Amino acid sequence: MNKKIKVQELGVKDYKETWDFQEELFQAILQTKIKNRREELELPTQNHLLFVEHPHVYTLGKSGDFKNLLLNEAELEKKGATFYKINRGGDITYHGPGQIVGYPILDLENFFTDIHKYLRLLEEMVILTLAEYGLKAERSKGETGVWLDVGTPFARKICAMGVRASRWVTMHGFALNINADLGYFDNIVPCGIKDKAVTSLNVELGKKEIPITEVKEKLLKHFVELFEVETT
């Protein structure tokens, strides 16, 4: 079992290019696992965590409803946004500047074989990070992700999640709003959930901008503790 993880900071990168890079890493892990089973080997599988910011983009999960995108092609172009239907779970979401997107590409057989636990640990990582800023973030029953003021009329989502897994290998991940332009969420029904608001860390703290690098360091610290990994 390989408990080491390679962390890569990709900066600002096109969504499709990043998706292709994820697929390369994902397929490499799968091929190692297939080779191990076929040839009765014990080659170690790799684990990765990618941090990235994307230019404005909307992505629709495989079970999502296209009607949750409220823009046509011309309107997307006018807003400088792109759109992709992708192979993760979940419905529609938005990625853009001022948002930390994290893609853990892990062989869960190095950790535990439980997708439910995996998602809960990702949520816990975000909840612990937001607690460092004095925010009480929570899970919302039946709704993956991280929320504020759950169970009230003011419930709002601050972090969306959607993953894909095959042979216990994960890809895609989470998107935490830090200094996000929340106006872009007005063009979708976020995650297919109507009548629920979306928020960003800077809005919650009443500040113009929060240092993204600082938040990333806190996320990574909690990720390392929760998954009991060593970074390389």
In the predicted structure, residue 5 carries a pLDDT above the cut 90: yes
pTM > 0.85? yes
Phi then psi dihedrals of residue 56, to 5 deg: -50, 125
In the predicted structure, residue 92 carries a pLDDT above the cut 90: no
Phi then psi dihedrals of residue 145, to 5 deg: 120, -170
64 is annotated as contributing to ligand binding: no
Question: What's the pLDDT at 191?
Answer: 56
- Cβ density class 6-45: b for 16+ within 10 Å, e for less: ebeeeeeeebeebbebbeebbeebbebbeeeeeeeeeeeb
Per-domain residue ranges for the chain? Answer: 4-225
**Contact yes or no for 204/227 (Cβ under 8 A):** no
**Contact yes or no for 68/192 (Cβ under 8 A):** yes
102 is annotated as contributing to ligand binding: no
Report, as residue numbers or ranges, the catalytic residues.
191
For 40-74, the pLDDT digits (tens) are 999 999 999 999 999 999 999 887 888 889 998 89
What is the average pLDDT score of the chain? 94
Question: What's the pLDDT at 228?
Answer: 96
Phi then psi dihedrals of residue 82, to 5 deg: -115, 170
**Contact yes or no for 192/91 (Cβ under 8 A):** yes
173 is annotated as contributing to ligand binding: yes
pLDDT tier, 193 (very low <50, low <70, confident <90, very high otherwise): low
CATH architecture of 4-225: 2-Layer Sandwich (3.30)
Question: What's the pLDDT at 64?
Answer: 84
**Contact yes or no for 205/129 (Cβ under 8 A):** no
DSSP state of 131: H
C-alpha 173/C-alpha 164 separation (Å) is: 8
